[in-house]
Amino acid sequence: MPERKYRCPECGRTNLKVEVKLFARLIQKGPRRISCNIEPGDLEQQFYDRWGKYDPMECNDCGHANSAYTFETAYQEQERKRRTNV
């Protein structure tokens, strides 16, 4: 399986962020005292591949936002053009 890479379809840059899903420990100390806690070790384990092609991705440079697969498609298209122009 080829490595997945991403690029902004608007500006072409790779300075991106993606929305990830993770679990946090729910702390209940009474009916109105509820909080969450995330352990540092949990972050490393949970961030690995916790998002998919339909999760939101955003470019930190130009602000373009869309589903992650549009950013992956932009990278693949640029690579295809580069290979045909060599």
The pLDDT value recorded for residue 5 is 85
The pLDDT value recorded for residue 35 is 81
The pLDDT value recorded for residue 49 is 61
Report d(CA 8, CA 76) in Å as an integer. Answer: 11
Mean pLDDT of successive 10-residue stretches along the chain, which has 86 residues: 77 90 79 76 62 90 94 81 76
Q: What are phi and psi of 41, to 5 degrees?
A: -65, -30
The pLDDT value recorded for residue 1 is 42
pTM flag (> 0.85): no
Other C-beta atoms closer than 10 Å to the C-beta of 31 total 6
